[in-house]
A = this chain, B = another copy of it.
Amino acid sequence: MAKLLTIGQLANHCGVTVRAIRHYHRVGLLPEPVRDHSGYRRYGAQAVVDLVRIKVLADAGVPLAQISHLLSADPDEFGAAVAGIDEALQQQIIQVEHRRQQLLGLLAGDQLVLPSEVAEMLNDLREIGVSEQGVQIERDGWILLAALSPEVVPEWTMQKRAALDDAEFRRIYLAYDNARDWDPNDPRLKALADRTVQWTTTRSDAAIGARSDTSPSDPNVMLVAQLMDAESAYTSPALNRLAELCRERLGRSARPAS
């Protein structure tokens, strides 16, 4: 007897589901086979061959519509297509490796969400003794900056790290960090504003004297300092007041916050 396969036997043998085979029939990917006297589909050897090809291609990620096109292609065309698919699989492997890296990066703090040089700078801040809240505020500022103007980040980071090499700047920075929780009328704010302005002007002169190649480097010293309180100014009345005091002392050489 010409023993033919039922849909279940075919599915089982080829490692697909019955439902998948019927789906392939509906979309015209696999031809409908003969039916037996009670309407059951009966499959011959060619169906096994076809289905194996379909399954391998589908597992490789080829869309069904494209598979039906491939099955009716001549061997040369088919070989070329297979080569292309194989290349796509190789690239997929590379992608997955990359995703593994990213995934493991999730376990390691802010690296993923910030350029590495900024992450390093934040670590410098922590080592200097900046409060965790202060570091967080800096981080948020840099995240937004990186989203809005990624091109300025490397330059600004360099400037900031250069400033942090200066002991006086570090002291001022830590003072700002502490000042966040002060009363806006605290008398120490005036002294801190004086110190800030003094450091800024001497630093600005030094920068101009040192090199004139990077033309906007001297206002950047200011901007770097401002970045520090750009965000926190909205959550800290004391730092808000402090910024105002600095602006008074600098006249309109620093433009007002809009």
Contact = CB atoms under 8 A, between A and B. Distances in A.
Contacts of A4: 144
Interface string A184-226: 0000000000000000000000000000000000000000000
B148 A59 contact: no
- Between A60, A86, A141, A143, the greatest number of chain B beta carbons within 10 A of the residue's beta carbon is seen for A143
Interface in A1-59: 1-5, 9-10, 13, 44-46, 48-49, 52-53, 56-57, 59
Nearest to A145: B3
A143 B103 contact: no
A154 to B, nearest CB: 16
A contacts with B: majority SS: helix
How many of these chains are in the complex? 2
A152 interface: no
A73 interface: no
Given A103-B57, A105-B56, A113-B52, A9 B86 contact: no
Contact of A56 (B48, B49, B106, B146): B106
**Closest 7 A-B residue pairs measured CB to CB?**
A45-B140, A45-B143, A13-B147, A56-B102, A52-B113, A48-B143, A89-B100
Interface of A: 1-5, 9-10, 13, 44-46, 48-49, 52-53, 56-57, 59-60, 78-79, 82, 85-86, 89-90, 92-93, 96-97, 99-100, 102-107, 112-113, 139-141, 143-144, 146-148, 150, 230-231, 234, 257-258
